[in-house]
Structure 1
Amino acid sequence: MEVAMLERFFVKPQTIDRIMDCWLGLQIDEYVTALCDRGYAPRSIYRRVPVLTKFAVFTAARNVDQIEQTEALIEPFIDDWLRIRRADRSAEACRRDRNFVGGVVRHFFSQIVSKSDNTSRRTAWPIPFVTQVPGFLDYLREERGLRASSIHHYRHYLRGFERYLRDVGCEVTTLSLPVVTGFVTAQAQHFGPRSMIGLASTLRVFLRYAHREGLLQRDISKLVEVPQHYRLADIPRSISWDSVQKMLDQVDLRTVVGRRDYAMLLLMITYGLRAREVAALTLDDIDWKRDRLHVRERKADHSTAYPLAPVIGEAIIDYLKNGRPDVQGRQIFWRYLAPRSPLTQAAVSAMTSKYLHRAGIPVARPGSHTLRHACVQRLVDNGFPLKTIGDYVGHRSASSTMIYAKVQVDGLREVALGDGEDLQ
């Protein structure tokens, strides 16, 4: 029997025989081959194979010999796995075990049974009001020109609105202001101020479109009150430059992940890049001959060219030579662990939050925007004009930069104390 792939990871013949003798042995060997093809580390394979072997024993004890029938036994298998190992284990450890064991078995099914590259096995959320108000998402995309991320927020709010209308037995064609107000009041118990603004704005656009399409006899969109939130009422969640250095000190440059993360952190700190902009950078965006960094696909389809700072160029080169996986894609930053894929916006922000927590830096909602705020604040403190700063970090409006003038504590203190002159 050909078991060349298993022999690459397990030395003892008895171990290989035990795996192959179980009724899922051939499928497990096929799964190991698929993992190798996708660049999974040996340590990951060592952890996964015993789980699948025990899953085969568990299903065989219940007289199941068809692989399509075993998917219904995943949850009972997880419960049995935890029951055996639960002694003296914390709730957090049990949660990690449940996620790991369930993830391994479901990934096995996705690769071997369904032959799908989609490992999440998540059911896509239904499109809200797809039958009652058809064409609304197309309107957002084509007429209003919204990005996919913005449309995602619309769908999130409208799914809740659709459930609420279903619960109260109301159709879009019979909507009235009291029904809409009841929904907004109910959501206010769970949402914060900014989320309530997004909810009210979404409802306004949706109701206006429904009236335009003749689904609503009366345009009640203007009657939906948007909560007041003053633009300059907040203080940016910036950190001091000493805190920035403390965060950078947490990065281990001896590791592949550390080299990658260090380059991304420097990009956000130096240029104030958003997480989405860092994730979208490609090898073509760096002009090594002219020492230029091009940031494309910014808000409002803007692009910016920066001088490539030597420290950032060295960090990127170090990552490209000693950290970036051998992949065909042009994106600069990639996942270290398999499956190989470019980093997402969420991954960049989560990485930033990780180092801020490691450094013990207290900040509300730590993430990539914390470093963006720190970059802008440093420029403000050094006396650069707000218009210049706004252009540098890609602000669409000057008012987005004005808020940083509020936290010039030293300057405001001088104004408050004056220079000894009496007020006239």
Structure 2
Amino acid sequence: MNLENLSLSQDSLVEYMVTMNYSSSYIMAIQREIRWLLKNKNSHKWITYEEALQDRAFACDKKNFTNKKTLFTVIRRFEEDSVYPNRTRHPEGNTTPQELNAEFKKMAVAFEAMETQRSLKFVTVTKNNRCFRSFLQHLQSRGCERACDVTEADSISYFRDKNGAVLRGYTAKRIISHALTLLEKTGFSECKRLSALIPLIKYHHKNTQFLTDDEIAKILHALKDKEGNLSLRDRAIGFLLVYTGMRASDISSLRLEDIDWHNGKIHCIQQKTGVPLNLPLLPVIGNAIYDYLDKERPQSSCDYLFLNSFSAEGLAPVSICSISYVIYKASCVRNAKGDRKGTHIFRHHLVTALLSNGTDQATISQTVGHSCPDSLTPYLHADIENLRKCALDISQFPIRREGC
């Protein structure tokens, strides 16, 4: 830990993050932690960044501690190892992962290749591959040189400790099972037996708040009210969120040429997956965008569709999220403490609305730009109208009435 070195080199870190299009809020968070470290370096006798983190995160809740830990990891890797951030999570400390033997390495490489072909985001491919490699490294550390050497105890020990406490949960189990299923189909016959050795881990479904029809009606009323407080830019972004369910990153990256006025289409490359997305330019969206371009958009050589009102530069995804908060406030919805907000809830509403109307899943996936059919699974849990049809009548069950 050399804070003098950090003080001298911090500008290059910020410059790199700006060049790599990191969000302004994330860059400011990194700068804030660096300022805190430099300000308090004389009043503390830190030897490692872990010690500094403990002081910084004192009295933080679990979520804030995790955020601080992530920021400190980025700073530590930059200052100590001269490694710039690359949007992926890294193992703690400086330990080098155990090198896989020939058979396990072949399995890991084959899985990574298949994941890459699925048009997944680079970060997702990296996360899945790291999880599977971690599983193989664990098996190897227990003396398994080949897949046929793995026992049920070896597999379970990756997910549970000796006392049965959970080490890794459903997400790790899902990724590893998925990897073994893919490998089995490509000739790794022993993976079928390995799949059977993976312990059963229950999926704990978390109830997700969703936009109700009444809330959508209020939002649309606010968007259509030209005498209201919403700017023309915010109205256009609001209509895109409601009717297309586009991600904030995709809206912020829209360029003027992406609006095909002649054919009534919106063309863009999804920032998350890199897959092209083609959507109909609905009249209500087209009219809102035209009003913004004609009456409000600043004069600028920048070719991004939506610009910052002050700098005449393109908006960051976090700015789209901030605009959604303005829309909620103008619509008088989602203003209570703890209410779920943000832009993804619009995407969630669109998918569940299409499901409720009987739209087939292939069409829905094409509409929202999903390249993997499994991506719709979380939305199926929120199809309230159809789930109500599955409810059981409990009137015939003996239930004690209140007061009896």
TM-score, with structure 1 as normaliser? 0.51
Which structure has the larger Rg over C-alpha atoms? Answer: 1
Percent identity, aligned pairs only?
Answer: 15
Q: Does 1:304 align with 2:278?
A: yes
Q: Does 1:268 align with 2:244?
A: no
Determine which of 203, 209, 222 is the counterpart of 2:180. Answer: 203
User: Counterparts of 2:242 and 2:13 in 1: how far apart (Å)?
Assistant: 39
**1:291-317: per-residue Cα shift (whole Å, max 9, x none)?**
531144598956323215146526975
User: Counterparts of 1:205 and 1:58 in 2: how far apart (Å)?
Assistant: 54
Q: Does 1:372 align with 2:347?
A: yes
- Residues 333 and 181 of structure 1: is their aligned pair in 2 closer, same or farther, counting only changes over 3 Å? farther
Aligned residue number for residue 68 of structure 1? none
Do the aligned residues in 1 keep the contact of 2:30 with 2:75 (CA within 8 Å)?
no
User: Counterparts of 2:361 and 2:70 in 1: how far apart (Å)?
Assistant: 52
Aligned residue number for residue 91 of structure 1? 59
What is the count of residue pairs matched by the alignment? 350
Determine which of 371, 374, 384 is the counterpart of 1:407. Answer: 384
Aligned pairs for 1:326-405 within 5 A:
343=316, 359-360=335-336, 368-379=343-354, 385-386=359-360, 390=364, 392-394=367-369, 403=380
User: Counterparts of 1:221 and 1:33 in 2: how far apart (Å)?
Assistant: 47
Aligned-residue CA RMSD (Å): 6.8
Do the aligned residues in 2 keep the contact of 1:283 with 1:332 (CA within 8 Å)?
yes
User: Counterparts of 1:100 and 1:209 in 2: how far apart (Å)?
Assistant: 42
User: Counterparts of 1:241 and 1:313 in 2: how far apart (Å)?
Assistant: 24
Do the aligned residues in 1 keep the contact of 2:241 with 2:347 (CA within 8 Å)?
yes
SS at structure 2 position matched to 1:408: helix
Cα deviation, residue 372, structure 1 = 2.0
Do the aligned residues in 2 keep the contact of 1:267 with 1:312 (CA within 8 Å)?
no
**1:338-375: per-residue Cα shift (whole Å, max 9, x none)?**
xx99857x997899799989634878x87655322312
Aligned residue number for residue 242 of structure 1? 214
Q: Does 1:161 align with 2:138?
A: no
What letter corresponds to residue 215 of structure 2 in structure 1?
S
Aligned residue number for residue 146 of structure 2? 172
Do the aligned residues in 1 keep the contact of 2:88 with 2:126 (CA within 8 Å)?
no
User: Counterparts of 2:184 and 2:68 in 1: how far apart (Å)?
Assistant: 44
Structure 1: runs of 5 or more not aligned: 1-22, 63-70, 251-257, 417-424
**1:48-102: per-residue Cα shift (whole Å, max 9, x none)?**
897577467569xx9xxxxxxxx9576667778x7xxx9xxx8239x97998899
User: Counterparts of 1:362 and 1:197 in 2: how far apart (Å)?
Assistant: 30
Structure 2: runs of 5 or more not aligned: 224-230, 394-404
Q: Does 1:134 align with 2:105?
A: yes
- Residues 186 and 149 of structure 1: is their aligned pair in 2 closer, same or farther, counting only changes over 3 Å? same
- Residues 116 and 173 of structure 1: is their aligned pair in 2 closer, same or farther, counting only changes over 3 Å? closer
Aligned pairs for 1:283-322 within 5 A:
283-288=256-261, 292-297=265-270, 301=275, 303-308=277-282, 309-310=285-286, 312-313=288-289, 317=293, 321=297
User: Counterparts of 1:114 and 1:294 in 2: how far apart (Å)?
Assistant: 41
User: Counterparts of 1:247 and 1:96 in 2: how far apart (Å)?
Assistant: 31
SS at structure 2 position matched to 1:303: strand
More helix by share: 1
Aligned pairs for 1:52-131 within 5 A:
54=39, 72=47, 91-92=59-60, 110=78, 118=85, 123=90, 130-131=100-101
**1:377-411: per-residue Cα shift (whole Å, max 9, x none)?**
44566x57547963544567699599599633799
Q: Which moved more, 1:263-272 or 1:32-41?
A: 32-41
